[in-house]
Chain A
Amino acid sequence: MTTAEGARRRPWARRAATQPGPLPWLDPGADLTDRERALLTAVHAIVGDDGLRAGELGRATYRRDASFLNADPLGVALPWTVEQTASVVRACRDHGVPFTPRAAGTGLAGGATPTGEGGVRPLVVSVARMDRLRELDVANRRAWVEPGLVNARLGRAAAVHGLRFAPDPASQIAATLGGNVSTNAGGIHVLTYGVMSQHVLAVELMDADGVVHLLDGTAPELGGIDLRGVSVGGEGTLGIVTGACLRLLPAPPSVGTMLAGFPSLRQAAAMVGDLVTSDRLPDAVELMDARAVGLVEGYANAGYPVDAAAVLLVEFEGLPHAVAAGIDTADALAEANGATSVTRAKDAAERARIWKGRKAVAGAIAKRAPDFFLQDVVVPRSRLGDMLDAVVAIGERERLEILNVVHAGDGNLHPFVLFDRREEGVLDRVFAAGHDIVTTALDLDGTVTGEHGVGIEKRDFLAQVFSEDDLAVQRAVRVAVEPSGLANPDKVLPSTVGCLEARMVPEGAWV
């Protein structure tokens, strides 16, 4: 569309005629309002050719995160520095255009999907290029990181010094620490080490004026309120995380790993209950159902018992006697709960093989079905058996293959709903199953997301979790911290006006 055509269609855009001609980094004929064109021009002046993607192809790869929710952004800014980021954010403010912070885009709830209220296209601000490990303080066991640093890279840097970074989401080889902070990520070792928030000492949060606020710090009792804690899990709606100080832990001197197979999901769930009420809490308790085991065995050959209805992977870390006693207890509990097989890892190689099965789930699924929809719900641990039965029933009702992979010690289920998007009407069933899984968790005193975040996907469930007053307080805190409303609008809290702009449909071949 030429400028003249655009002006005819939108009389208020007529002023575009006085603007410079087509910009070299835009598709010829890009359909932009004056305001959008002015912002892109300003951002281009800040980050240069290399730091702005505004063409159709450049935008296409930033339409969504790892969820199915997608929307077309105005453009994508890829600043190299905090200063450039601040200038980009200020340009957004000056032109009244919202922005969607983003890093690796491994989120599963649409938190980085560039939606705006009323159809306004936000600018994606990617922090992926700010990926330095600013400081690794071995003596004091902490690290200052930039938001684009990949989780596993921090882990590797820490391991050299006998340290570890505890939060280990499954996506850790790609997910960034800025994203982990913004979603309050979890992982396999949450049971004793806690979620991301417990490992964040300080956050540098950039507001919509480009001002960076240092929230909390390395001293323990600074006084003042814990806005660090609110910014963790803020999903980009409170500003952009431009840095963080993270806590590192000493690597455990001893690790014990056990794999047990059970003849029923109920028995495996009962074992989980016995484990968490024993006198030594395991550091990881993962459950996989028979479907997940069958898929993984065919793919990774990890030695899982394929005849079991469920397997539990139990791990203890720490000092050697405690670990040995923990594994002995787990062994006895497995037998008491009717385990049909128990394998104890004798060495690091066996341990790695056992974990290989758990970590190969996504890869194995990719060989089985072209698409999957990954849910994330939590129930109190005592309701785990009920919840697992319900997921099975939902799968049968919707005629869908659902695998259960569960952070069982936390009561955190990740049902993978497998499908092929080419099948007529399958998406309705997939979303119906997802919806039923969430409402079942709520009925069991659980909650709608344990570690993936609210984003867009779970946003409208919040009204079922919280009262109007609860949400009013949440909204008030959001507005107090980020009054402009430009930071990742439309996310986390149910909007009081308007409807969802993003399409709930997986994209076909759009690039």
Chain B
Amino acid sequence: MTATTGELTTAEQVREAIMDARRDVTPMEIRSGGSVLDRLPAGDHPVLSVAGMTGVVAHAAEDLTVTVRAGTSLTELSQVLADAGQECPIEPTGGAGSTVGGRIATALAGPRQLGAGRVRDWLLRVRFVTGAGQIATAGGVTVKDVTGYDLCRLMTGSWGTLGVITEVTLKLRPLARHRAWYATDPPRHDLDALLYRPSASITTRDRTHVLLEGHPDDAVEQAALAELVPADPPTLPVTARASVDPARLVGLVEACETLGLAWAAQDGVGVCHLDGDGDQLDAARTAAEKRGGSLLVLDPDLRRPAFGSRGSFPLDERVRRTLDPDAVLAPWRWTR
């Protein structure tokens, strides 16, 4: 990565940077904290960074909402919310420097996705600048809102390609009274069905780790039901992550085991975290795609495309061309 657009602190500056890029026909990489981007293949492009747009704009504890600028670190946000006994269960996914905007833009599953739901479900309002240079807002600060098209969902997981997210309003919930990791061995993939809505169930070669949140007495009873013992949280492999229909996760895990990869599978979610060399990951990607899934490589040193082959999505293309007519917002995102 080469020159950057300098420290941007306002949506208007983001707009100017985008208009400059359109004029010069110079596509840009869109960056926030870099926790994911720095693990993708590097290109030689100018960088538009929102890392300078930080800070909590408004924490309405009594409304269970928080409005925060895109470059704010997740750690800082969690601290502010925890002081009020609240949280937004959007979590870092490995890599340092996770920001709110980055996590919304990439929308990768965190460890607690099983219980907390998807990243996209926590976004109430988004402010962004489109690739055409329009400063726009979608959604609102109320927890229910069907006013206009749901562009909050559209922006979540758009990886910077449709617009640059500058500010978001998130839904909050009370912090659980009790929160602890447990484990059981041998591993079993059925704990999500046996227990009542556990927060996480992550299976590795040796054991299954379970996160229970809620009332401590319920946790004791749930743990007894599945013969769980208190344990440390699992350590997740970081080189790659495969995603398949959760119904096909066990099949994928077996393939990865055969290939000699280190793995940790998020049961009921369908994400499998992997460590291995390039050839092993190529084979794992084939195994995931054969099951209708995909694999994301998060180690540029392996010299593999981050995203695998994707089918053709004509509607995706039309929307991208509309919101980013000059293809200045990381148009290469899903092809490298």
Segment touching B, from A3-11, A87-95, A273-281, A396-404: A273-281
Q: A220-B113, A473-B134 given as contacts; is B145 within 8 A of A378 (CB)?
A: yes
State A379–B142 Cα separation when bound (angstroms). Answer: 6
State A229–B153 Cα separation when bound (angstroms). Answer: 5
State A103–B174 Cα separation when bound (angstroms). Answer: 38
State A492–B140 Cα separation when bound (angstroms). Answer: 16
- Scan B246-288; emit 1 where CB is below 8 A from any A CB, else 0: 1100000000000000000000011100000000000000000
- Scan A202-217; emit 1 where CB is below 8 A from any B CB, else 0: 0000010000010101
State A217–B244 Cα separation when bound (angstroms). Answer: 10
Interface size counted on chain B using CB atoms at 8 A: 82
Decide: B117 and A140 in contact? CB cutoff 8 A.
no
Residues of A within 8 A of B156 (CB): 226, 229
Segment touching A, from B20-28, B42-50, B292-300: B292-300
B214 part of interface (Cβ distance < 8 Å): yes
A195 part of interface (Cβ distance < 8 Å): yes
State A252–B218 Cα separation when bound (angstroms). Answer: 13
Q: A230-B154, A320-B218, A447-B147 given as contacts; is B315 within 8 A of A479 (CB)?
A: no
Decide: A190 and B142 in contact? CB cutoff 8 A.
no
Segment touching B, from A41-49, A58-66, A460-468: A460-468
Interface size counted on chain A using CB atoms at 8 A: 90
Decide: B120 and A472 in contact? CB cutoff 8 A.
no
Smallest CB separation, B328 vs chain A (Å)? 16
Docked complex: B201-217 residues within 8 A CB-CB of A: 214-217
Decide: B215 and A319 in contact? CB cutoff 8 A.
yes
Q: A234-B149, A446-B142 given as contacts; is B120 within 8 A of A226 (CB)?
A: yes
Decide: B147 and A227 in contact? CB cutoff 8 A.
no
Decide: A223 and B334 in contact? CB cutoff 8 A.
yes
Decide: B135 and A469 in contact? CB cutoff 8 A.
yes
In the complex, what residue of chain A is closest to B173 when comparing beta carbons?
A281
Residues of B within 8 A of A277 (CB): 61-62, 64, 85, 174
Decide: A319 and B154 in contact? CB cutoff 8 A.
no
Smallest CB separation, B142 vs chain A (Å)? 4
Decide: A469 and B136 in contact? CB cutoff 8 A.
yes
State A178–B107 Cα separation when bound (angstroms). Answer: 26
In the complex, what residue of chain A is closest to B128 when comparing beta carbons?
A473
A172 part of interface (Cβ distance < 8 Å): no
In the complex, what residue of chain A is closest to B117 when comparing beta carbons?
A198
State A382–B64 Cα separation when bound (angstroms). Answer: 10
Decide: B148 and A493 in contact? CB cutoff 8 A.
yes
A480 part of interface (Cβ distance < 8 Å): yes
Which residue among A321, A471, A474 has the maximum number of chain B CB atoms within 10 Å of its CB?
A321
State A367–B64 Cα separation when bound (angstroms). Answer: 38
Which residue among B109, B146, B241, B323 has the maximum number of chain A CB atoms within 10 Å of its CB?
B146
Segment touching B, from A21-29, A32-40, A294-302, A449-457: A449-457
Residues of A within 8 A of B161 (CB): 225
State A280–B113 Cα separation when bound (angstroms). Answer: 19
Which residue among A217, A378, A446 has the maximum number of chain B CB atoms within 10 Å of its CB?
A378
State A450–B156 Cα separation when bound (angstroms). Answer: 20
Residues of B within 8 A of A465 (CB): 140, 147-148
B303 part of interface (Cβ distance < 8 Å): no
Docked complex: B83-109 residues within 8 A CB-CB of A: 85, 107-109
Decide: B322 and A466 in contact? CB cutoff 8 A.
no
Residues of A within 8 A of B7 (CB): none
Decide: A230 and B60 in contact? CB cutoff 8 A.
no
Decide: B245 and A380 in contact? CB cutoff 8 A.
no
Decide: B294 and A223 in contact? CB cutoff 8 A.
yes
Decide: B136 and A470 in contact? CB cutoff 8 A.
yes
State A153–B60 Cα separation when bound (angstroms). Answer: 39
Decide: B197 and A318 in contact? CB cutoff 8 A.
yes
A511 part of interface (Cβ distance < 8 Å): no
Residues of B within 8 A of A183 (CB): 146
Decide: A218 and B154 in contact? CB cutoff 8 A.
no
Smallest CB separation, A442 vs chain B (Å)? 10
Decide: A448 and B322 in contact? CB cutoff 8 A.
no
A509 part of interface (Cβ distance < 8 Å): no
For chains A and B in complex, what number of residue pairs have CB atoms within 8 angstroms?
A: 257
Decide: B246 and A221 in contact? CB cutoff 8 A.
no
Decide: B142 and A411 in contact? CB cutoff 8 A.
yes
B74 part of interface (Cβ distance < 8 Å): no
Which residue among B145, B196, B245, B334 has the maximum number of chain A CB atoms within 10 Å of its CB?
B145
A222 part of interface (Cβ distance < 8 Å): yes
Residues of B within 8 A of A186 (CB): 144
Decide: A378 and B117 in contact? CB cutoff 8 A.
no
Decide: A318 and B154 in contact? CB cutoff 8 A.
no
Decide: A476 and B323 in contact? CB cutoff 8 A.
yes
Q: Which of A197, A280, A445, A453 contacts B153 (CB 8 A)?
A: A197
Docked complex: B142-176 residues within 8 A CB-CB of A: 142-154, 156-158, 161-162, 173-175
In the complex, what residue of chain B is closest to A194 when comparing beta carbons?
B121
Smallest CB separation, A376 vs chain B (Å)? 9
In the complex, what residue of chain A is closest to B145 when comparing beta carbons?
A447
B290 part of interface (Cβ distance < 8 Å): no
Residues of A within 8 A of B174 (CB): 277-281
Decide: B137 and A450 in contact? CB cutoff 8 A.
no
B65 part of interface (Cβ distance < 8 Å): yes
A129 part of interface (Cβ distance < 8 Å): no
Decide: B322 and A139 in contact? CB cutoff 8 A.
no
State A467–B315 Cα separation when bound (angstroms). Answer: 26
A232 part of interface (Cβ distance < 8 Å): yes
Decide: A321 and B217 in contact? CB cutoff 8 A.
yes
Q: Which of A230, A382, A480 contacts B321 (CB 8 A)?
A: A480
Decide: A276 and B62 in contact? CB cutoff 8 A.
yes
- Scan A263-294; emit 1 where CB is below 8 A from any B CB, else 0: 00000000001001111110000000000000
In the complex, what residue of chain A is closest to B242 when comparing beta carbons?
A221
Decide: B214 and A319 in contact? CB cutoff 8 A.
yes
Smallest CB separation, B127 vs chain A (Å)? 10
State A276–B175 Cα separation when bound (angstroms). Answer: 12
B318 part of interface (Cβ distance < 8 Å): yes
- Scan A185-196; emit 1 where CB is below 8 A from any B CB, else 0: 010001110110
State A119–B141 Cα separation when bound (angstroms). Answer: 37
Decide: A449 and B151 in contact? CB cutoff 8 A.
no
Decide: B142 and A447 in contact? CB cutoff 8 A.
yes
Decide: B62 and A381 in contact? CB cutoff 8 A.
yes
In the complex, what residue of chain B is closest to A444 when comparing beta carbons?
B142
In the complex, what residue of chain B is closest to A222 when comparing beta carbons?
B294
Decide: A219 and B120 in contact? CB cutoff 8 A.
no
| 18 A/B residue pairs, CB under 8 Å, sorted by A | A140-B247, A184-B146, A184-B150, A194-B117, A197-B153, A227-B319, A229-B153, A232-B150, A233-B150, A252-B196, A277-B85, A279-B175, A281-B174, A380-B60, A381-B143, A451-B144, A473-B136, A480-B321
Residues of chain A whose beta carbon lies under 8 Å from any beta carbon of chain B: 137, 139-140, 183-184, 186, 190-192, 194-195, 197-198, 207, 213, 215, 217-230, 232-234, 249-250, 252-253, 273, 276-281, 318-322, 325, 378-382, 407, 410-412, 445-454, 458, 461-462, 465-467, 469-474, 476-481, 483, 492-493
